Amino acid sequence: MEVRLAGTGIVRVFGEITKATEEDIYQPSIKEQAYKQGVKAATHPCGFTVKRTFKDAIGRKASAYALILPARTTPDRATVVSYNGFPQFSDDPLDDEAIQAIIGFSNLTWIDIGVGVPE
């Protein structure tokens, strides 16, 4: 899967990720799981929520939830839209440390949008 468009908030904490893939965003141990769940959501179709754990450039960890919904599927492209919560690494609102990687992918809950959910 490839990122086609990222909002300014995502770019602020991740850096420019247009054209990035799960190889660029997820830690190696979870990238395959994240990819497979995204494909399931796009092709089933259904949505899901997931808790992602992030690591910033100085090693702190924080979690936030995301909502992933299918947008459009054609024979050559499956598209999902991801609505992302932002991890808060500290109580300082000016603390803008960049995210280094997504290191956790847990608490996945499927959302039935009318055709059931994957097994």
Which residues on neighbouring strands pair with residue 109, listed in sequence order? 49
Q: Please tell me the distance from the alpha carbon of residue 96 to that of residue 49, in angstroms, as a whole number.
A: 25
Instruction: Tally the C-alpha atoms within 13 A of residue 78's C-alpha that lie toward its C-beta.
Output: 16
Per-residue pLDDT at 96 = 62
- Tell how far CA 68 is from the center of its chain: 8
How close are the terminal C-alpha atoms of the chain, in Å? 21
- Nearest residue to 65 (alpha-carbon basis) of 116, 22, 5, 105: 105
pLDDT at 110: 96
Residues of the chain with pLDDT under 50: none
The whole-chain average pLDDT of the chain stands at: 83
Task: Kindly report the backbone phi and psi dihedral angles of residue 110, in degrees, each rounded to the nearest multiple of 5, phi listed first.
Answer: -75, 150
For 41, other C-beta atoms within 10 Å of its C-beta total 26
Structural domain spans, the chain: 8-111
